[in-house]
């Protein structure tokens, strides 16, 4: 089963969803702003990718954080707290297929991951 996590107004998420639809991949959509995320779900991603990859330091949400909040993110536990409080700071989309996790969208990587 393929599951795609993100927020619907993100341009990269829109591209990923379009690509999946155009290539006839069925997937479950999870809007983590509306449906939320659990600490356990984020920890599962961290177990595969590491916490650093999940925080979008290029995004508006990160840039708007005060310096103390940014500096407080030093390990997986502090990263989880930040992501639960500010889900828009999570780099997106996050694609899960079996035990595979892909953060961000690149058509060639999705193709490779989903046609194995």
Asked if residues 91 and 3 have their Cβ atoms less than 8 Å apart, the reply is no
* 46-51 mean pLDDT: 95
- Name the catalytic one among 5, 6, 10, 42: 10
Architecture in CATH for domain 2-114: 3-Layer(aba) Sandwich (3.40)
pLDDT for res 98: 87
Residue 45 has pLDDT above 90, yes or no: yes
| Report field, pTM of the whole predicted structure over 0.75 | yes
Residue among 13, 8, 17 nearest 93 (CA): 13
Of residues 33 and 14, the one with the higher pLDDT is 14
Q: From CA 34, how far away is CA 7, in angstroms rounded? A: 8
pLDDT for res 115: 86
Q: Tell me the per-residue pLDDT of 58-110, one tens digit each, with 9 for 90 and over.
A: 999 999 999 999 999 999 999 999 999 999 999 999 999 988 999 999 999 99
Q: Is residue 46 exposed (0-12), middle (13-18) or buried (19+ Cβ within 10 Å)?
A: buried
- Domain boundaries in the chain? 2-114
- 10 catalytic? Reply is yes
């Amino acid at each position: 089963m393929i599951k795609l996590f993100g927020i619907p107004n993100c341009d990269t998420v829109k591209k990923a969803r379009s690509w999946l639809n155009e290539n006839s991949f069925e997937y479950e959509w999870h809007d983590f702003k509306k449906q939320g995320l659990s600490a356990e779900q984020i920890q599962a991603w961290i177990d595969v990718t590491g916490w650093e990859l999940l925080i979008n330091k290029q995004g508006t949400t990160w840039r708007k954080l005060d310096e103390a909040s940014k500096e407080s993110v030093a390990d997986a536990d502090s990263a989880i707290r930040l992501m639960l409080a500010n889900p828009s700071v999570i780099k997106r989309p996050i694609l899960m297929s079996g035990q595979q996790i892909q953060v961000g969208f690149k058509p060639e990587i999705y193709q490779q991951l989903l046609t194995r």
